[in-house]
Amino acid sequence: MSDRSAIEWTEATWNPTTGCDRVSVGCDNCYALALAKRLKAMGAAKYQNDGDPRTSGPGFDVTLHPDALDVPYGWKAPRVVFVNSMSDLFHARVPLAFVRQVFQVMADTPQHTYQVLTKRARRLRQIAPKLDWPANLWMGVSVESEAELPRIDDLRQVPAAVRFLSCEPLLGPLPGLDLDGIHWVIAGGESGPSHRMLDEAWVTQIRDTCQKADVAFFFKQWGGRTPKAGGRLLEGRTWDQMPLLVPA
């Protein structure tokens, strides 16, 4: 976890779990997998139980960190917190009881705003009725290509105060994107030595759909070899819209 984050749409990260594995094409160049390998080599305690990516396949072991549950209680100033930047809270190997503990911490610290993002939209929908949803929790799903559009239907059934989409890394157009019940959309390109290219038409189509639906739009990056290589300008300006707090 960290008090500061370089991610443009959040302020801090908090990782009560670490570890994940491939679930869709958006995972192919996963930044968390590469970072976990470096952190393990550096001796970071939270990553010593994770498998070696060179031998354990396309992922790293899901590990619970109960000691990390206390961290948000110590943050004095309110902040926007991305939960599990190094994992997926709705991974099948994260027990429902632990998800409930994470939700309880969020409920106990209403001064903070928590952003939870998952690619496991089906499990999210299935266990959502078994969770108490605090008003300071924003819930999102990753939609990297047309094949992942059904995740939005799962998200729509979740009683979160804010529901959002992360279209990053955006790998193709999203024809027929339906934003009913969605409050925020993030779009961006991939970064890293094996990054896949982003077409401007894919981004402007999403932005225009957001504008017609009165949905906040945030363009994170064009991507490239490094996250900042291509900059953040879309048609000559930045797009940093954030959602308003609205009833679920």
| Per-residue three-class SS string for the chain | CECCCCCCCCCEEECCEEEEECCCHHHCCCHHHHHHHHHHHCCCHHHCCCCCCCCCCCEEEEEECHHHHHHHHHCCCCCEEEECCCECCCCCCCCHHHHHHHHHHHHHCCCCEEEEEECCHHHHHHHHHHCCCCCCEEEEEECCCHHHCHHHHHHHCCCCCEEEEEECCCCCCCCCCCCCCCCEEEECCCECCCCCCCCHHHHHHHHHHHHHHCCEEEECCCCECCCCCCCCCECCECCECCCCCCCC
User: Which tokens is 222 given?
Assistant: 């064009």
Residue 176: inside a domain, yes or no?
Answer: yes
Number of domains in the chain: 1
Tens of each residue's pLDDT in the chain, 248 residues: 446 788 899 999 999 999 999 999 988 887 766 666 667 666 676 776 655 444 444 457 899 999 999 999 999 999 999 999 999 999 999 999 999 999 999 999 999 999 999 999 999 999 999 999 999 999 999 999 999 999 999 999 999 999 999 999 999 999 999 999 999 999 999 999 999 999 999 999 999 999 999 999 999 999 999 999 999 999 999 999 999 854 33
C-alpha 213/C-alpha 59 separation (Å) is: 37
What was the pLDDT predicted at 246? Answer: 43
Residue 154: inside a domain, yes or no?
Answer: yes
Residue 143: inside a domain, yes or no?
Answer: yes
Full residue range of the structural domain in which residue 182 is found: 65-219
What was the pLDDT predicted at 29? Answer: 80
Residue 41: inside a domain, yes or no?
Answer: no
C-alpha 26/C-alpha 168 separation (Å) is: 8
What was the pLDDT predicted at 28? Answer: 84
Residue 186: inside a domain, yes or no?
Answer: yes
User: For the whole model, what pTM was predicted?
Assistant: 0.90
What was the pLDDT predicted at 233? Answer: 97
Residue 197: inside a domain, yes or no?
Answer: yes
What was the pLDDT predicted at 58? Answer: 47
Q: Residue 207: left if φ>0, alpha if ψ -120 to 50, beta else—which one? A: alpha
Residue 80: inside a domain, yes or no?
Answer: yes
What was the pLDDT predicted at 127? Answer: 98
What was the pLDDT predicted at 168? Answer: 96
What was the pLDDT predicted at 41? Answer: 61
User: Which tokens is 123 given?
Assistant: 């499990």
Residue 144: inside a domain, yes or no?
Answer: yes
What was the pLDDT predicted at 27? Answer: 87
What was the pLDDT predicted at 36? Answer: 67
Q: Residue 96: left if φ>0, alpha if ψ -120 to 50, beta else—which one? A: alpha
